[in-house]
Amino acid sequence: MVLSMERWVDITKEEDILNTFKWIKEHLGPVHILINSAGIYKLNNLSSGSTKDWNDIFQVNVFGLCIATREAVKDMKANNVDGHIVHINSIAGHKVYDFPKANVNPAAKFAVTALAETLRLELNSLKLKIKVTVILDKIDFQHSRTDHKTSFGLYSPKVAALARRKDPLEELSKKLSNKKGKLFPIKTDVAKEEEILDAFKWIKEHMGPVHILINNAGIVRFGKYLSDGDTEAWKEVFQINVIGLSIATREAIKDMKANAVDGHIIHINSITGHELKYYPKVNVYPASKFAVTALAETLRLELNALKLKIKITSVSPGLVDTEIIPGGAKRHYATNTVIEPEQIADAVVYALSTPPHVQIQELTIRPIFDF
C-alpha cells in the first residue's frame, strides 16, 4: 500500500502527522511504503536572512521527514511489514552549488543524506528488513531529446557484446534469439587497445552508429595483499577496469559526436568505488573503482563543457552473484544477502529509460543488511 495523504496535513505540525498516521491505520491498514517528498525552498542570504524561514526549512525538510519516518517504521515493525522508506533528496544534499540565496537549503538536504544512511545502519542493526532509498536525480534542463526509449532502440536493440571468450556470448545470443533485437558476439580483449579499436570499426561498418556504451568488463585479482602483491596483476586490473573503460568511452563518444547521437555511457562501477570496507586481498581493485568514480564525474563535466547531450551514469553494485568471485559470491560471503545480476541489468534499463532532460548520475545498489 502506498501511503497516501488524502487529508490536509501540515507537516510542520507534529500533531497533524500523528493524526494522519492514526487515520491511515484505522482506514487503510498497515503502512508498507513511505515516500518523504514534502520539501520547501526559500530564498534569502545566510548573512541577512530570516530566522523564521530557516526554521521553516528545517521543520519541513528535516523534522517532518524524521517524524513521518519514525511513525512509518513503528507501524511496519508492529505489523511485521518489510517496508520501504524513500527520501526524495537532491544533489544539493551532496555538494553545495553556487546558487544565489541558497541559505540553509543545502544544509537541510545534507541532513537528509545523513538521515538516510543513519536509518539504513540503524535498521541493519535492528535486523529489520525495511529498505531505505534516497532519490537525487541530477536533472539537466538543457536536454531536449524526444522519444528517448525508441530513439535508443531499447525495444529492439542491436547489441554488440564484447568479451575474451566467444562461446558464452554465442550461447547468450542463441538464448535471446526469440527476443526482439539481436546480439552480436565480438571476441575482444579490452586490455588491448588494438582489439577495442577493431571492435568499434566492425560495429560502425556492420551495425551503424553507437547509441549506448555499457562499460561492464572488470576484474579483481584476489589472493595477494598490497604489501606482497604482484606488479603485473595490479597493472592488469587497471588496464581493464580503468584504461580499457577509458578507451572504449573515448571511441563511443567520438562516434556519437560524428553522428550527432545524444547517446548514453554507463560505467559499471562498485560500492568499493565510493567507500572502503576491509575485504582482504583485493589489493588495487577498490583503487581502480575509485578511479571509475572520478572518470564518470570528469566525463560529465567535460560533456557539459563541450555542450554534448550525451549522458553518463555510474552504476555501483554491492555484492552480486557472478563469476568475479571464484566459487560465487553466495558461497564466499555466506552471511550476506547477495544481489542477482538481473537486478543490476534492471538498474541499467531504468537509467536508459529516463526522459531526455533527466540524467541519472549515480545508482547505488546494495543487498539489504549490507554493512
Nearest residue (CB) to ligand NAP, 24 versus 245: 245
Considering only 191, 237, 253, 360, the residue that binds ligand NAP (CB under 6 A) is 191
Residue with cell 568488463: 217
Nearest residue (CB) to ligand NAP, 35 versus 213: 213
33 belongs to the binding site for ligand NAP (CB under 6 A) = no
Dist CA 77 CA 75 (whole Å): 5
Binders in 131-190 for ligand NAP, by CB under 6 A? 162-165, 188-190
Considering only 124, 133, 151, 322, the residue that binds ligand NAP (CB under 6 A) is 322
Stretch 268-287: interaction string toward ligand NAP, x if CB under 6 A: x-x-----------------
Q: How far is the CB of 353 from ligand NAP (least distance, A)?
A: 20
Residue with cell 566459487: 327
Judged by CB under 6 A, the stretch of 17-25, 28-36, 94-102, 321-329 that binds ligand NAP is 321-329
Q: How far is the CB of 321 from ligand NAP (least distance, A)?
A: 7
Q: Which helix (H) or strand (E) holds 185?
A: strand 182-187
Q: Is 285 a catalytic residue?
A: yes
216 belongs to the binding site for ligand NAP (CB under 6 A) = yes
The answer to whether the CB of 279 falls within 8 A of the CB of 232 is no
Judged by CB under 6 A, the stretch of 1-9, 116-124, 276-284, 313-321 that binds ligand NAP is 313-321
240 belongs to the binding site for ligand NAP (CB under 6 A) = yes
123 belongs to the binding site for ligand NAP (CB under 6 A) = no
DSSP state of 155: T
Considering only 72, 320, 347, 348, the residue that binds ligand NAP (CB under 6 A) is 320
Dist CA 57 CA 54 (whole Å): 5
Which residues does 183 contact at the CB level (< 8 Å), separation at least 6?
159, 161, 169, 172, 173, 176
Q: What is the 3-state secondary structure (H, E, C) of 33-79?
A: EEEECCCCCCCCCCCCCCHHHHHHHHHHHHHHHHHHHHHHHHHHHHC
DSSP lists the bridge partners of residue 186 as: 162
Cell digits for 348? 541499467
Catalytic residue among 278, 279, 285, 333: 285
Instruction: Give the nearest residue (CB) to ligand NAP.
Output: 218
Dist CA 88 CA 84 (whole Å): 13
Considering only 24, 217, 237, 252, the residue that binds ligand NAP (CB under 6 A) is 217
Q: How far is the CB of 316 from ligand NAP (least distance, A)?
A: 7
The answer to whether the CB of 321 falls within 8 A of the CB of 339 is yes
Considering only 107, 183, 295, 329, the residue that binds ligand NAP (CB under 6 A) is 329
| Amino acid of residue 314 | S
The answer to whether the CB of 318 falls within 8 A of the CB of 365 is yes
346 belongs to the binding site for ligand NAP (CB under 6 A) = no
DSSP lists the bridge partners of residue 347 as: none
Active-site amino acid positions: 285
Binding site for ligand NAP (CB under 6 A): 162-165, 188-191, 216-219, 240, 268, 270, 317, 319-320, 322-324, 329
